[in-house]
C-alpha cells in the first residue's frame, strides 16, 4: 500500500511540475506580445524574421505535434505539415502566408494546451520511453517556446513602425566588481570533458560527454566591450583589408557595414537603439549585434583569435584545480536574477562587473548572459552523436555553413542555456544578440 501511494504522489508531482513549466512559458510569450498591435503581429518586419504571429502559430503546432501525437509511440515525422513547417516556408516568405489573426492564434494556443494537459493525465512517463522519461519531451517543448521568444525579440528589435515598448521588469545593476577588461587568464589544457550525458533537458547535439584534448590557451576575462570595439573601429578596423577574411570582407563590402548593427554616429559619439531606447553607446557593456566576421576581424586587430567552442566550454565549466565540471559558470545553483543577465526582462546588456556571481572556475566573467559569444567552431556532431528525437533540430544543420555561439544573451530564458548549450547561425548574421570574447595560444 505504502508503495502505491508513493507512486501515485510522484505522478501527481510530475503532472504539477510539467503543468507549471508549460504555464510559465506561455505567460512569458503572452507578456512579450502584449504591447503589440494586430498589425505589429501580422506584418513581416524584416526578410530575416517571421511575422510574430507565425512564431505563435508555430509554437502551438510544435506543441500539438509533440505533446498530443508523438507522445504515442514512434515519431513519424519531425516537423509539422502546413504553414508552420519552417522547411517548407522559409522566413522571408512567411508574411505572404494565410496567417491567423491575434484572437484566432491565441485560441489555437489555448485549445492545444488544453488537449496537452488532458493527455498528460493519461500518460505513464516512466514506462521506459526515452521521449517521456523524466518529462523530456515536455522540457523540449518548453525550450522550443523559450527559443522562439528570443527569436521574437530579434524581430521586435528590427520592428517596423513605432518602436517596441519593451515590457521591462528589472533594471540592470551597476558594476559591483572590477573586471580587468582586455586581460586574459590561462587554461592549462589537458583532456577535458565536453558536452553532457543529460537526458532530462539537454539537446541531442550536446551529447555525449566526451574528452577533448586541449593545448594550453589564454582567454579574455570578459566579453569584448563597446569601449574595446570602438578602439578597433577608430583604428580603421573596418577599412583594413588584412584584418578580414575573404568572406568577411565580401560581407562587409556588400552590407556597407562600418559599425555594429543599430549603431549610428552623432558627431563624435556613437549612439545605439535598444528597442524603444536610444542613447550613447555605453563603453562598459559587451558589444552586441556583430557578425562572426566582425568578431574575427577584431580578434586579428587585437593580436588574438576567437576561442573554439571546446575552449569556450572548458573556460566556462572546468575547474583545473579539482577536475570538477560545472553546469553554469557559477556552479550548480539554478539561475536567479543575481547570477547573470538572462531572462529577457532587462531588455538590454549590462555593464561588465554587474553580476559578481557570474564567474567561472578559472575567473572568466559573464560567460552566460548579456550576449551570445561567437566561437571559431563549425556546428558539427560530437563523436558518438545519436539523433534524438528528430533530425530537424540539430542534424539538418551540421556542417560548415554555421558557426557555434555559446552562453546565451539577455534575451535568453534560463531554461534554454547552460555551459553545454550550443547555438548556431550563419557567420553573416547580426540581428541576433551576438558578441564575443577572444582567446590566444599560450
Ligand atoms: C537553435 C536558435 C538555431 O531558431 O533555428 C527553433 C532553435 N529550432 N525551432 C532556430 C529552433 C526549432 C534554432 N536555434
Ligand atoms: Fe521552431
Residue with CA nearest ligand 1 atom 8 = 393
> Apex CA 115: angle with CA 110 and CA 116, to 5°?
90
pTM for this entry: 0.97
For residue 224, the CA-to-ligand 1 centroid distance in Å is: 25
- What is the average per-residue pLDDT within 190-219? 98
| Nearest ligand to the C-alpha atom of residue 408 | 1
Give the containing element (helix H, strand E) for 163.
Answer: none
For residue 147, the CA-to-ligand 1 centroid distance in Å is: 6
DSSP 365: B
Q: Grade residue 327 by pLDDT with cuts at 50, 70 and 90.
A: very high
| Nearest ligand to the C-alpha atom of residue 155 | 1
Q: Grade residue 73 by pLDDT with cuts at 50, 70 and 90.
A: low
pLDDT computed for residue 37 by the predictor: 98
- For the chain, give the percent of residues with pLDDT over 70: 96
Q: Grade residue 392 by pLDDT with cuts at 50, 70 and 90.
A: very high
For residue 425, the CA-to-ligand 1 centroid distance in Å is: 9
* pLDDT at residue 1 is higher than 50: no
Name the phi and psi angles at 120, rounded to 5: -55, -40
d(CA 81, CA 63): 13
* pLDDT at residue 220 is higher than 60: yes
* pLDDT at residue 173 is higher than 70: yes
Among 192, 301, 284, residue whose Cα is nearest residue 239: 301
Ligand 1 test: best mutation among 85, 151, 395, 407, most atoms within 8 Å of CB? 151
> Apex CA 210: angle with CA 191 and CA 146, to 5°?
120
* Residue 109 burial (CB count, 10 A): 21
For residue 442, the CA-to-ligand 1 centroid distance in Å is: 35
Which residues are within 8 A (CB) of 107 and not within 5 positions of it... i.e. 6 or more apart?
Answer: none
Q: From the CA of 62, give the closest atom in ligand 1.
A: 9
Amino acid at each position: 500500500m505504502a508503495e502505491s501511494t508513493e507512486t501515485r504522489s510522484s505522478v501527481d508531482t510530475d503532472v504539477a511540475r510539467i503543468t507549471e513549466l508549460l504555464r510559465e512559458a506561455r505567460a512569458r510569450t503572452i507578456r512579450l506580445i502584449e504591447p503589440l498591435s494586430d498589425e505589429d503581429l501580422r506584418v513581416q518586419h524584416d526578410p530575416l524574421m517571421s511575422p510574430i504571429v507565425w512564431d505563435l502559430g508555430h509554437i502551438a503546432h510544435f506543441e500539438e505535434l509533440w505533446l498530443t501525437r508523438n507522445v504515442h509511440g514512434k515519431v513519424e515525422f519531425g516537423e509539422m505539415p502546413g504553414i508552420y513547417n519552417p522547411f517548407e516556408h522559409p522566413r522571408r516568405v512567411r508574411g505572404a502566408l494565410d496567417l491567423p489573426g491575434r484572437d484566432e492564434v491565441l485560441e489555437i494556443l489555448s485549445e492545444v494546451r488544453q488537449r496537452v494537459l488532458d493527455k498528460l493525465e493519461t500518460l505513464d512517463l516512466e514506462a521506459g520511453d526515452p521521449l517521456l522519461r523524466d518529462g523530456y519531451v515536455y522540457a523540449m517543448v518548453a525550450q522550443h517556446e523559450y527559443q522562439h521568444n528570443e527569436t521574437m525579440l530579434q524581430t521586435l528589435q528590427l520592428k517596423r513602425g513605432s518602436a517596441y515598448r519593451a515590457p521591462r521588469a528589472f533594471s540592470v545593476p551597476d558594476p559591483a566588481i572590477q573586471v580587468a577588461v582586455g586581460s586574459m587568464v590561462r587554461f592549462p589544457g589537458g583532456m577535458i570533458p565536453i558536452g553532457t550525458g543529460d537526458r532530462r533537458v539537454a539537446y541531442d547535439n550536446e551529447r555525449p560527454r566526451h574528452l577533448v584534448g586541449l593545448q594550453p590557451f589564454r582567454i579574455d576575462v570578459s566579453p569584448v566591450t563597446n569601449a574595446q570595439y570602438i578602439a578597433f573601429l577608430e583604428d580603421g578596423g573596418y577599412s583594413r583589408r588584412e584584418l578580414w577574411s575573404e568572406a568577411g570582407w565580401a560581407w562587409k563590402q556588400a552590407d556597407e557595414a562600418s559599425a555594429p548593427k543599430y549603431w549610428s554616429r552623432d558627431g563624435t559619439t556613437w549612439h545605439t537603439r535598444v528597442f524603444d531606447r536610444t542613447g550613447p553607446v555605453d563603453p562598459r557593456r559587451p558589444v552586441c549585434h556583430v557578425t562572426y566576421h566582425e568578431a574575427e576581424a577584431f580578434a586579428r586587430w587585437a593580436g588574438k583569435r576567437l576561442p573554439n567552442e571546446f575552449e569556450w566550454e572548458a573556460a566556462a565549466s572546468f575547474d583545473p584545480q579539482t577536475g570538477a565540471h560545472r553546469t553554469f559558470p557559477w556552479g550548480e545553483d539554478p539561475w536567479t536574477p543575481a547570477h547573470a543577465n538572462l531572462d529577457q526582462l532587462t531588455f538590454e546588456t549590462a555593464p561588465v562587473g554587474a553580476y559578481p556571481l557570474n564567474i567561472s572556475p578559472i575567473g572568466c566573467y559573464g560567460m552566460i548572459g548579456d550576449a551570445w559569444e561567437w566561437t571559431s567552431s563549425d556546428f558539427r556532431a560530437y563523436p558518438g552523436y545519436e539523433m534524438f528525437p528528430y533530425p530537424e533540430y540539430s542534424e539538418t544543420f551540421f556542417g560548415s555553413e554555421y558557426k557555434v555561439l555559446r552562453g546565451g544573451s539577455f534575451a535568453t530564458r534560463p531554461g534554454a542555456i547552460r555551459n553545454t548549450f550550443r547555438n548556431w547561425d550563419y557567420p553573416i548574421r547580426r540581428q541576433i544578440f551576438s558578441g564575443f570574447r577572444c582567446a590566444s595560444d599560450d
